[in-house]
Chain A
Amino acid sequence: MPDLLERRSHRERITDDDWEPQNTSTVSPTLLSLVSYRPTPRRFVLPFLDSKLELTCEGPMPAWLPAIVAKLDELATLPPNWNSYRAAPVKRSCLLASVQLLLAMMRDNSPTPAVVPTSRGTVLLEWHKRGIDLEIDVLGPERFHVVAEDASRGIEWESDVGADLTEIVQFIELLS
């Protein structure tokens, strides 16, 4: 960067003859609009299950994602009897299904769930906030057992859920 004295010497070289008023507009000659603006998709790679998880996002990676993927990856290393009560190791299919479910239903600002292994080898995703209890037992790909309670609205819901995540997404929205 030129120092002050150097810049002054440059300025002194400019004269009125250099002034070209037709080139002073601040408006671009070509019209620009943000209405149809699409951010460039960005690719993220996270280590997962002795391999890697590749994601393409429009914008930054959701804040909750890296911690959840790391936690699920950690669960994959649990040995038999990890809870001292003869628990089974966590099933790979449940770990993968957990990531797929979360990517399908979570928004960037969704709260991070507690990730809990069960003695049956499945994965529990739990949220307990804003007066809402939401617990999703990930039994396998598109096989979920869901329990939700919202005391303030008098809602109690327990159901087996498959590919249609509509009701779960509604609870996630209430938690966010």
Chain B
Amino acid sequence: MEPTAYTDDPTIANDAGLWRRIPPLHFYFDENLGRTRPSKAAFEDDEDGHPMSVVLADLVTASGRGPAHVLHGHEGYALAQITAELARTKHQGVQRDPLPDELAHALCFGKKTDSVRRAFAKSCEWVIPPPDEDQASPS
């Protein structure tokens, strides 16, 4: 299959927030950082090689919705934010990819090396933190 070409969208500002859902199995307490954070496993491309899905925060809010709407139907999930700037400094691009049920959908494309995924996991911020800190304890 021909690899799909993706293009970094310059209309997406560096300070744009990219939101990603974090399932309960993907966050834990990091004793070194003294806080709960996602695992690097939360920032992978799809298993079939499709780039990592995110939603553009400004488009979600512009449509009159809040972050909780992104987690609707995903009980126990948290919502994390990286910036487009962080993605770009890690050799990723951001492309709009509106879906019928989520017009704010976008793709963060580029090779997700261990270093890239760890940078995302350690630098991201919680938009909606994990609902229950007990779930974030090791194993």
Chain A residues with a Cβ under 8 A of chain B: 67-68, 71, 75, 78, 82-88, 111-121, 124, 126, 128-133, 135, 145, 147, 158
Which residue of A119, A120, A130 has the most chain B CB atoms within 10 A of its CB atom?
A: A119
Across the interface, do A129 and B47 meet the contact criterion of CB distance under 8 Å? Answer: no
Are the CB atoms of B41 and A88 closer together than 8 Å? no
Closest A residue to B52 by beta carbon equals A85
Q: How large is the interface on B (under 10, 10 to 19, 20 to 34, 35 or more residues)?
A: 20 to 34
Residues 1-54 of B at the A interface (beta carbon under 8 Å): 21, 23, 25-26, 28, 30-33, 39-42, 44, 46-48, 50, 52-53
Is B64 engaged at the interface, CB distance under 8 Å to the other chain? no
Q: State whether B30 touches A88 (Cβ < 8 A).
A: no
**Beta-carbon contact of A114 and B44 below 8 Å:** no
B138 within 8 A of A: yes
Q: List 3 tightest A-B contacts by C-beta distance, closest first.
A: A129-B31, A114-B28, A128-B30
Which B positions have Cβ atoms within 8 angstroms of A?
21, 23, 25-26, 28, 30-33, 39-42, 44, 46-48, 50, 52-53, 74, 77, 114, 118, 138-139
Q: Specify which chain B residues have a CB less than 8 angstroms from the CB of A68 in the assembled complex.
A: 139
CB distance from A130 to the nearest CB of B (A): 8
The listed residue with most A CB atoms (<10 A of its CB), out of B23, B25, B48, B118, is B25
Q: Contact partner of B114 among A111, A117, A158, CB < 8 A?
A: A158
Task: Judge whether A133 and B32 touch: CB under 8 Å.
Answer: yes
Nearest-Cβ distance from residue B24 to partner chain A, whole angstroms: 10
